[in-house]
Every structure is written in structure tokens, then in C-alpha cells.
Chains A and B, each alone.
Chain A
């Protein structure tokens, strides 16, 4: 995928009279300005005529956020200026450059918007306590891409993940190739499964033996502040690692069979004598049970009979508590789970939930 930067047409014109005489102004495509004794030259960037939908969205968001700043009251602008005085813009020439209130407003709000939050008009209080990302491993295979063993950071922190496409193993610095795959997600019990997001963003399947660059950081979605970036390099492997989480969700339903649930998340990854059941059982015909067909077999060690609680959840307002046996077995090319009513008065739909043993 061609990056946005690569599509820009760059023209560099050296104008010594501008650059070295403490001069501020524009000559053709070069703009010179002096900030705190530093001469800064910027080259006008030309957007390519071809933009991806993601690029167009990003540019529109930045424009919208930038325009929003002009709508702020004087006191709000002043607060952003104060905040900006505590923040330093990244610089590639040694010392950090100053940041304006407008810069701070756009930077923090672009983070928030990226994470699905609204634009913050009042400047947040400045603090530097964003947790660092800590995890066990990043796993990249052609079918499964995830970060495992993440040390959980509670709300309002969300994890931002940037990844590159396939890179040669000979490349040691591919950080400029990374793009945001996950604009802000909560880890799911220590795991950030970005498989779908990766394919949607990168669009190319990871190739075993190739290198993928991974950057991640926590973002405070209340303020837009981001934490330290953790950089990692992963060699794509051919197979998913063993010990992958065993779970049955709506994504695993066999589309060729009729399942009688409107939601499903049965999680066998507890490592203790219970599974975690979540299913909205709709029932079927005149049988007090709901069947679920999965498109793949389950590991032998979770085949058996489970039990869980249920609570009526219908439009009739019945909230009757019930117990359900859950028969779990493999078929020739998939698996089946039957939520069979046992205790309490049967009603449908019933939400089955909670921890339950398997025997």
C-alpha cells in the first residue's frame, strides 16, 4: 500500500536569502519562519489526486478539528495555550519545538476522534501518568494477528496499535511503514486480536518469514493524551501458537445450519473448573432448548456437559431464573452446543450467563 507521504509531490528549493537571514516569508513552495531563534523551513505539500477512503476521512477529520478551534471562546483558547506550554512537539533537529494551543487542540482531539470520542472543547488538565504498554508477545500469522498477555489498563485507557505490512527480514527500521490498525481498543482479557482490523487496514495477508513492525501505546480517551510508544518486531509464523483461547462466538456459527441464539460467547479459557457462558437462547419449536452449530470442532478437553444459569429476557417481562445443561460435542466437521432447560419455569428468550462447571 502506498503511504500518504509517498504520494506527495515534493519540491525543494534552496533560498539562502530566506534561510540564513532570520527572514520569514514564502518563496514559491518554501516557507521560512523563525521560532525562538530557530529558522524553520517548510515545504508545501501537495496532496495526491488519489486518496484512499481512510486518507480522505483522516484529512476531513483534521480539517474539521482545526476549524473547530476557531469556534472556541477566548478563555478556552487561552486554556489550550497554557496546556500547549507544557507539551513539547517532536523535533528531528535536536531540541523540542514549541507547540501552540491550536497544535495541542488538534493533536489531542485527533486522538480522541480516532478512538470514537467527541471533540473536547475545554483543555484537559495536563498530566504524564499514561501507563506504558506491557505484553508477553505479538503474534502474526497469515490467519491470526494479536498481541497477547497485555497488562490491562482500565478505562479510560485504550490501546492504539500501529503495524506495517510485510517487510523484508533485512529491514531493521520499518517504523515509517506502520499505520494505525487499531485506533483504540480495550484489551480482551489481556489479548488484542487485531486480525480483522489488520486485514481491513493493510489489506495484504502476512507472509511467513517476513517481518512486521508493531507499535503500540495507551491513550487516555478522556484527554487524548498518549503514552510512550512500545516498538516491537515480529517475524510472521506459519501457524498460530498453541494455547490459543478456546471460545465460541457468533462469528463461529455454521451458516449452513440453523442456530437458535441471537448472541453467543462461551469462553473456555478460564484454566479452572468452570467455563463462562453467555448466550441469548431463543428456543425452537416446542422443545425447551436452543441449539448452536459451530463451523469448526472444539478441542477434546472441553467436550462434555456444562451447566449455567439463565434468566428470562422476553418482551413479556418475565425474569424467571432457570438452570440449563449445555451439551457440548463435536460433529464430523464442526461442533454443536445444546442449551437444554432444566430448573425453573421455561421461558423464551432466556439469557444464559455466568460461570458454570463442565463435566
Chain B
């Protein structure tokens, strides 16, 4: 783990969980910033300054941006959280860049999730093919169901997960979900965004929820009303650093 040394958009200190190899880096972080602050409004791109990384530049990876929004009705409250994916890359050994987009400037404070692998190109050899493993997602009474493309790829220091939510028993639609990911290593702790779900207040970006993963269990409580709207297919896409890393390079 390491802390940022600064940034140009008015966020506080940012903590990263990391795995750093000689030619790629996996970073995990979650932080909040206020898009009304002067630093953010003055910057062209979001830059996070960090201690020396093992690589001095990277190709583009995806990070997620999310806003939180509640509506209070006479009959109850509704969640209209939303967000999307942003491009991010390592500019130099000490700078992580996230593209700046104005889409949610009126919806702050905004949350950024970095669950990203930053590769380099032209490294003299081809992509190494992985072994995909389907994940068994277990809930009590099988109230929560997942699609076929729910899988992980496991490495010694990190895993990649792709989860696709497909349905829930009606009685559990607003309950706290607790799902055991049977094959997932137990040494992963992270907050991950769940992209998708219908969002009638923000159909331009759809919904975005958050799940917490710890000890192989995924928990989720707060979700948009249209989470299981037809064809809105909520999913998780994340590179997650395992807690077995006490080093920062291979």
C-alpha cells in the first residue's frame, strides 16, 4: 500500500493498494472529491501524484466514477445513483492520470473507484493467455442469481473478476445481499462498483451501485430501483489486489 503525495483536483490524500511488476501495475483505490472546488475546475485532467511506480508510463485502463443521489417521495425513498467508466493511465513514474469529463459536475461529491491493471505496450512478447474459472455464487435459498459470464482469473498477487447479476427473488429485492463467491481467494478486500441497472432519472449513464468484497463474501445494500430492469444487465469488472502482497515489485 502507499499514499498519494498530492493531486491537482482538490481531493485529500488517496490510499492505494498495489501490486507492481516490472512491466505492469495493478492499483485499487476508492476516494471522493468535490467537483465544485477550484482546483478541479482549473485542471484539464485529474492527476494523482504518487511515490515512484515501477513503470514510467502505461496504456489506458478503465476506472469508475459514481455519484450518489436520493429522491424522497411521500411513499418512501428512491436511489438514483449513477456513473460511468473513465480512461486512466500512468503518465510518468509519479503521476496517475484520469480523464476529466463534465458529465457529473453537478452531481458531486463524486466517487472514483480504481480497480485497474495498467499495462505497457511493445514489451517484446504477446499477451499471456489466462485460465478462466467460473464462479459459484451462493446465497441462502439461492435468492440471487448470476449470469453465465460470471468468472474470475486468479494470479498469485491479483485476480480479475467479471460478475453479471441476472435476477433476485422478489422478497429480497431491497434486502442486504450476501453472496459467497466460492472459488474466490479469501485474501481480497475491496469496494467495487456495480455498473448498470435502469435509472430513470439518469438514463444517459444508467445506475451504479457499490458492493463490498471481503472473505469471499460480496455484500450489497444500496441499489437503484431499476437494478434488474430488462436489458440493463448489472455487472462488475475489476482487477483486485490480493492481501498477500507485502512487496511492490516482482
Picked from B56, B84, B164, the residue with its CB within 8 Å of the CB of A320 is B84
**If the complex has contacts A344-B233, A357-B160, A359-B131, are A189 and B126 also in contact, measured as CB distance less than 8 A?**
no
CB within 8 Å of B: which A116-143 residues: none
Q: What is the CB-to-nearest-CB distance from A311 to chain B, in angstroms, rounded to a whole number?
A: 5
How many Å lie between the Cα of A270 and that of B59 in the bound state? Answer: 9
B209-236 interface (Cβ within 8 A of A): 231-235
Q: Of residues 124 to 180 in A, which have CB atoms within 8 Å of B's CB atoms?
A: 152, 154
* Among candidates B101, B117, B123, B195, residue contacting A321 with C-beta atoms closer than 8 Å: B195
Chain B, 236-250, contact with A by CB distance < 8 Å: what is the 0/1 string?
A: 010100000000000
Q: Are A355 and B59 in contact (CB-based, < 8 A)?
A: yes
Contact with B along A252-270 (1 / 0, CB 8 A): 0000000000000001111
8 Å CB contact of A152 from B57, B204, B205: B57
Cα-based distance from A18 to B132 in the complex (angstroms): 85
B85 & A270 in contact (Cβ 8 Å cutoff): no
Please judge, given known A-B contacts A269-B126, A320-B204, A342-B164, whether A355 and B120 are in contact too, CB under 8 Å: no
A69 to B69, CA, bound (A): 60
| Contact residue among B119, B130, B160 (Cβ-Cβ distance under 8 Å from A276) | B119
Contact yes or no, A353 B129, CB < 8 A:
no
CB distance from A342 to the nearest CB of B (A): 5
A345 CA to B231 CA, complexed, in Å? 6
In the complex, are the beta carbons of B206 and A246 less than 8 A apart? no
- Asked whether A273 lies within 8 Å of B196 as measured between CB atoms, the reply is no
A274 interfacial contact with B, CB 8 Å: yes
Query: Which listed residue, A189, A344, A359, touches B129 by the CB 8 Å rule?
Result: A359
Name the contact of B153 in the complex, choosing from A189, A243, A320, A357 (C-beta under 8 A).
A357
Q: Is the interface of B mostly helix, strand, loop or mixed?
A: loop
Residues of A within 8 A of B176 (CB): none
- Contact in complex: B153, A272 (CB < 8 Å): no
Output the nearest chain B residue to A354 by Cβ-Cβ distance.
Answer: B62
Given A271-B126, A355-B116, A358-B129, do A345 and B204 touch, yes or no (CB 8 Å)? no
Residues of B within 8 A of A345 (CB): 196, 198, 206, 231-233
- Bound-state CA distance A358–B162 (Å) is 13
Q: Is the C-beta of A346 less than 8 angstroms from some C-beta in chain B?
A: yes
Given A276-B119, A321-B195, A359-B131: A343 in contact with B231 (beta carbons within 8 A): no
Q: Mark A312-337, 1 if CB is under 8 A from B, else 0.
A: 00001111111101000000000000
The distance in angstroms between the C-alpha atoms of A307 and B21, with both chains bound, is 22
State which of A276, A311, A343 has its C-beta within 8 Å of the C-beta of B164. Answer: A343
- Assuming the contacts A190-B122, A269-B123, asked whether A276 and B204 have C-beta atoms less than 8 A apart, the reply is no
Contact (Cβ within 8 A) B237 A309: yes
How far, in whole Å, are A188 and B120 apart by their CA atoms in the complex?
11
Residue A108 at the chain B interface, CB threshold 8 Å: no
Q: Select one of A309, A318, A343 contacting B196, CB under 8 A.
A: A343
Q: How far is the CA of A342 from the CA of B150 in the complex (A)?
A: 11
Quick check: is B127 within 8 A (CB to CB) of the other chain?
A: yes
Contacts of B61 in A (CB 8 A): 354-355
A304 within 8 A of B: yes
Q: Is the CB of B235 within 8 A of A354?
A: no
A318-B204, A354-B62, A357-B130 are known contacts. Are A191 and B122 too (CB-CB below 8 A)? yes
A316 — which chain B residues lie within 8 A by C-beta? 204
A270 and B233 CA atoms in complex are apart in Å by 30
* Docked complex Cα distance between A278 and B130 (Å): 20
Contact B120 A270 (CB under 8 A): yes
B141 cross-chain contacts in A, Cβ below 8 A: none
Closest A-chain residue to B131, C-beta based?
Answer: A359
Task: For the complex, give the distance between the alpha carbons of A321 and B81 in Å.
Answer: 14
A269 vs B128: C-alpha distance when bound (angstroms): 10
With known contacts A152-B57, A299-B126, A344–B24 Cβ distance under 8 A: no
B153 to chain A: closest residue by CB? A357
Q: List 15 A-B contacts (CB under 8 A).
A: A269-B124, A271-B128, A272-B117, A276-B119, A278-B60, A301-B129, A319-B101, A323-B195, A342-B162, A342-B233, A343-B235, A345-B196, A345-B232, A354-B60, A354-B116
Q: Other CB < 8 Å A-B pairs besides A272-B21, A272-B119, 19 of them?
A: A189-B121, A270-B119, A272-B23, A272-B117, A273-B130, A273-B153, A273-B155, A274-B119, A301-B127, A322-B195, A323-B195, A323-B235, A342-B149, A342-B233, A343-B162, A344-B234, A354-B87, A355-B116, A359-B129
Residues of A within 8 A of B (CB): 152, 154, 188-191, 243, 245-246, 267-276, 278, 299, 301-302, 304-305, 307, 309-311, 316-323, 325, 342-346, 353-355, 357-359
Q: 8 smallest A-B Cβ distances: which pairs?
A: A343-B235, A271-B123, A189-B122, A359-B132, A354-B62, A189-B121, A309-B62, A271-B125
